[in-house]
Amino acid sequence: MSATPFRKISGGVCAPKGFLANAVSAGIKSPDVERLDLALIYSEAPCVAAGTFTTNRVKAAPVRVSQAHLRDRDVQAIIANSGNANACTGVTGIQDARKSAKTVARSLGLRQGQVAVCSTGVIGLPMPMMRIEPQFPSLVEGLDRKKGTDVAKAIMTSDTRHKEIAISMELDGHKVKIGACAKGAGMICPSMATMLCFITTDANIGRTNLDKAVHEAVEHSFNRITIDGDMSTNDSVVVLANGESGMPRIQRNSKSYRLFRESLEFIMLEMAKSLVKDGERVTKFVTVKVNGARTYNDAKKVAEAVANSALVKSSWNGNDPNWGRIIHAIGYSRAMIREELIDIHIGSKPACIGGLEAQTPMDELRKTVAKDKFTITIDLHLGDAEYEVYTSDISPEYIDFNRSEYAYWKQARKDGLTKQ
Amino acid sequence: MSATPFRKISGGVCAPKGFLANAVSAGIKSPDVERLDLALIYSEAPCVAAGTFTTNRVKAAPVRVSQAHLRDRDVQAIIANSGNANACTGVTGIQDARKSAKTVARSLGLRQGQVAVCSTGVIGLPMPMMRIEPQFPSLVEGLDRKKGTDVAKAIMTSDTRHKEIAISMELDGHKVKIGACAKGAGMICPSMATMLCFITTDANIGRTNLDKAVHEAVEHSFNRITIDGDMSTNDSVVVLANGESGMPRIQRNSKSYRLFRESLEFIMLEMAKSLVKDGERVTKFVTVKVNGARTYNDAKKVAEAVANSALVKSSWNGNDPNWGRIIHAIGYSRAMIREELIDIHIGSKPACIGGLEAQTPMDELRKTVAKDKFTITIDLHLGDAEYEVYTSDISPEYIDFNRSEYAYWKQARKDGLTKQ
């Protein structure tokens, strides 16, 4: 990947040609708080679009609406908010999401189906549309080449920092750019997280190839991160490609397709890793690498069982290189394993060889686990299949942080949106 | 069940006729700590025995040894220790477990195969046999009718209180007794927990019927509790029946079989619930009841997804009746669901009806979740299948408590048992 000939640039989602953005404070959580929470991304030129969404069977209204809108693959704008997930809000929620798309579409001269809608925040509360709708005019008016970072900030929930990236590369002799912003924190789990990721590019690519590239890249990035084993109702990755770079159309299996696909995966992986590093009250970034599994699914099961074990994650939080808890998680992963063949390395040092304690002194292993970034390598010695996930420790502060969302509900009651 | 004609009595595993017990302090964790950690249960008369063991593919040495010994179904004694799980200890671990069985068997005039071995504690450390073996003579000598409670105490690890129960009932005109003790805490998960449960009875029952009764009862008790979603390498339930009550042999599908099976399930359920209540740093006992699922497996998936969600458990810890997190866990359970049909009751009050917020005031729901015991009822309205699990909240203290087992390792190094 390091060989890939692209360089990082500034500008986020506004870095590629022809993309504008804006964000405002609509007071979605609370009217009294000045905080960017409503964002708009817009391409001046028509786009080819692709997206992937949560596999949770409880889907937020904006997810249902955006999935429908993306069917024609010509989405040209994204309206997004934080503070309210618009999930479990029934017909009203669907109507609210559609209304937002429709209003924004009209003032941009687009069809409703050309606007994707994304929300993140608390589940089960109606959207405070009385505070959101009045913002649409100024949101559209203020569209600007320089406001990519505002969008990254406006979609933050419990994120401690905004997340964006942009790269520039040569494709068929033309300068092509890809920009992205994302939000995460909490509930990060394989098969996508509570995360939103918006990606813009001025590459020239058709629907089928963009779909293929996006799905491959997501499988190797966002589907491989986990913080607490939960899975959200709102996860969305939306990619807009407007072809404004002037490059010729990317052909199937061409060199430029491979390069574009690699760059897209690089961008998504950077965003995915930054989500884990900024997970709720996370203190460590841990890569769990499984080798020698009989099948790809076995490797995946083992990696995810270890990465999701509350006991394993607690021990990491305590700088305890507890390979016993790791091997017991391997044991209940339901993957085919043979205890006496299992090797576990913590960093480069063996902790367990052939299912038994290795000779590495405990204190050396502790040094590795005490770092804020390390890799656990598990070799099952049963085949050639591999899998890798990116995860974190779990801290007492995480539980404490997630004990209550009562504040949202109190505000919703003030707004007359809930009787609860 | 309340109709079942039996009454609670004292004495634990020594309540039934012909059972003796003893426990001593062998300093397995640390030679300097006076604490019961080595226990023996013995039936003066031959027994019919049955057991169920962890489904974790990484099995502790004593589990492998006891499974083999139980094949002949005539186990007559159980040797158990806390402080060391004798798991991931390879050939040495197997040898240590066999040696314990053999030594105890010899001094009791039994075959090695008539002694079951059970261990609980830290994984990956060799057993400090140099402190255990010298204790066997006094352990056997001290066997006594009055020491049932000592066994319950000796198997405790992070349990805050010992757990035992005994009941007396009429079977075919004879007084029949069942006694039990158990240990749990932490890592409690469906398909059995880090738990040991020893059950003694003077009922007269054959191998096939005892097997059947034990497996049915375990499925409805120990397999339905979960604290942190982890699953241990050492879980064992061992049941010894010596027929000393003088009753005639229990016949298949007879009234006495049903009564015996019911009583056994009552005992196991009482023990299982007491494990959850005493889970590591647990503050609440929660029953998650799923109705209206299309299949039994769907009901089970939903109940376990909700009961194992870190976010749901955190909200319970914070007295937050967060039904949004519950429905999102239902959504990723992989069970067949229809969001718009889901009802969620917290206690007797509706929190979510048809996938939407119910009218119950938040503060009423909070009152229920603030209790130390409540039920979450989920109706999927898709069929008749039901499932119920018993679980708990997760507290910041749980994570803090599980951050390190370093003390064990330091002692093991002192003992020259590990280079780590």
- Assess whether pLDDT exceeds 60 at residue B37: yes
Contact A238, A201 (CB under 8 A): no
- Assess whether pLDDT exceeds 90 at residue A408: no
- Assess whether pLDDT exceeds 70 at residue A234: yes
What's the average model confidence in pLDDT over B288-307? 95
What's the average model confidence in pLDDT over B312-332? 89
- Assess whether pLDDT exceeds 50 at residue A190: no
Give chain A's radius of gyration (CA, Å). Answer: 22
What's the average model confidence in pLDDT over A24-44? 92
C-alpha to C-alpha distances, A194 to A225, A234, B328, B383, nearest whole angstrom: 11, 6, 11, 30
SS (HEC) of chain B: CCCCCEEECCCHHHCCCCEEEEEECCCCCCCCCCCCCEEEEEECCCCEEEEEECCCCCCCHHHHHHHHHHHHCCCCEEEEEEEECCCCCHHHHHHHHHHHHHHHHHHHCCCHHHEEEEEEEECCCCCCHHHHHHHHHHHHHCCECCCHHHHHHHCCCCCCCCEEEEEEEEECCEEEEEEEEEECCCCCCCCCCCCEEEEEECCCCCHHHHHHHHHHHHHCCHHHECCCCCCCCCCEEEEEECCCCCCCCCCCCCHHHHHHHHHHHHHHHHHHHHHHHCCCCCCCEEEEEEEEECCHHHHHHHHHHHHHCHHHHHHHHCCCCCHHHHHHHHHHCCCCCCHHHCEEEECCEEEEECCEECCCCHHHHHHHHCCCEEEEEEECCCCCEEEEEEEECCCHHHHHHCCCCHHHHHHHHHCCCCCC
Find which of B235, B349, B362, B402 to mutate to test the A interface (most A CBs within 10 Å of its CB). Answer: B402
pLDDT of amino acid B283: 87
- Whether A327 sits inside 8 A of B397 (CB atoms) is no
> Complex ipTM, two decimals?
0.75
Residues of chain A with pLDDT > 90, as a percent, come to 67
- Whether B310 sits inside 8 A of A418 (CB atoms) is no
Q: Is B56 annotated to bind ligand? A: no
Which range, of A26-30, B53-57, B407-411, averages the lowest pLDDT? B407-411
Task: Nearest by CB to A331, from B56, B317, B328: name it.
Answer: B56
What's the average model confidence in pLDDT over B312-324? 89
| Buried-state track B349-372, b at ≥16 Cβ within 10 A, e below 16 | bbbbbebbbbebebeebbbbbeee
Domain A6-277 shares a fold with domain A285-394: no
Q: How confident is the model at residue B371 (pLDDT cuts 50, 70, 90)?
A: very high
Q: Is B146 annotated to bind ligand? A: no
pLDDT digits (tens, 9 = 90+) for B210-243: 999 999 999 899 888 865 555 577 889 999 999 9
What's the average model confidence in pLDDT over B258-268? 95
Give A135 to chain B, closest Cα distance, Å. 27
What's the average model confidence in pLDDT over B403-411? 63
Give contacts of B323 with chain A, Cβ < 8 Å.
124
- Whether A318 sits inside 8 A of B398 (CB atoms) is no
pLDDT of amino acid B193: 44
pLDDT digits (tens, 9 = 90+) for A314-340: 889 889 888 988 998 999 898 999 999
Give A417 to chain B, closest Cα distance, Å. 11
Higher pLDDT, B420 or A241: A241
Higher pLDDT, B281 or B142: B142
- Assess whether pLDDT exceeds 70 at residue A83: yes
Which residues pair with residue A40 across a beta bridge? A22, A79
pLDDT of amino acid A17: 98
Cα dihedral B40/B44/B46/B51 (nearest 10)? -30
pLDDT digits (tens, 9 = 90+) for A148-161: 999 999 999 878 89
- Assess whether pLDDT exceeds 50 at residue B187: no
Contact B354, B364 (CB under 8 A): no
B7: phi then psi, degrees, rounded to nearest 5: -130, 150
Give A274 to chain B, closest Cα distance, Å. 21
Q: How many CB pairs under 8 A join A and B?
A: 238
- Assess whether pLDDT exceeds 60 at residue A2: no
Angstrom distance (rounded) from CA B185 to CA B192: 12
pLDDT digits (tens, 9 = 90+) for B378-389: 999 999 999 999
pLDDT of amino acid A227: 54
Give chain B's radius of gyration (CA, Å). Answer: 22
Fold of A6-277: L-amino peptidase D-ALA esterase/amidase (3.60.70)
CA-wise closest residue to B412 among B128, B202, B55: B128
The secondary structure of residue A113, as a DSSP letter, is G
Q: Is A226 annotated to bind ligand? A: no
What's the average model confidence in pLDDT over A159-174? 94
Which range, of A133-142, A255-264, A401-410, B260-269, averages the lowest pLDDT? A401-410
- Assess whether pLDDT exceeds 80 at residue A402: no
pLDDT of amino acid A106: 97
User: What are the domain boundaries of chain B?
Assistant: 6-277, 285-394
Give contacts of B319 with chain A, Cβ < 8 Å.
403-404
What's the average model confidence in pLDDT over B359-377? 93
What's the average model confidence in pLDDT over B191-207? 84
Give contacts of B194 with chain A, Cβ < 8 Å.
none
pLDDT digits (tens, 9 = 90+) for A98-113: 999 999 999 999 999 9
Active site residue B368: no
pLDDT of amino acid A185: 62
Higher pLDDT, B401 or B75: B75
- Assess whether pLDDT exceeds 90 at residue A233: no
pLDDT of amino acid B404: 62
Residues of chain B with pLDDT > 90, as a percent, come to 67
C-alpha to C-alpha distances, A2 to A8, A201, A263, A266, A289, nearest whole angstrom: 12, 21, 10, 10, 20
Q: Is A397 annotated to bind ligand? A: no
pLDDT of amino acid A231: 58
Average pLDDT, chain A: 90
Higher pLDDT, B321 or B15: B15
Higher pLDDT, A101 or B402: A101
Give B247 to chain A, closest Cα distance, Å. 42
pLDDT of amino acid A412: 67
Higher pLDDT, B229 or A362: A362
pLDDT of amino acid B286: 95
Half-sphere exposure of B130 (CA within 13 A, CB side): 8
CATH label, B285-394, candidates 3.20.10.10, 3.10.129.10, 3.10.20.340, 3.40.50.1820: 3.10.20.340
pLDDT digits (tens, 9 = 90+) for B141-184: 999 999 999 999 999 987 889 999 999 999 999 999 999 999 98
pLDDT of amino acid A277: 84
* A365 → chain B, closest CA residue: B420
- Whether A230 sits inside 8 A of B332 (CB atoms) is yes
- Whether B352 sits inside 8 A of A419 (CB atoms) is no
Q: Is A157 annotated to bind ligand? A: yes
Q: At what angle do helices A296-308 and A310-317 cross, to 10 degrees?
A: 60
Q: How confident is the model at residue A164 (pLDDT cuts 50, 70, 90)?
A: very high
Average pLDDT, chain B: 90
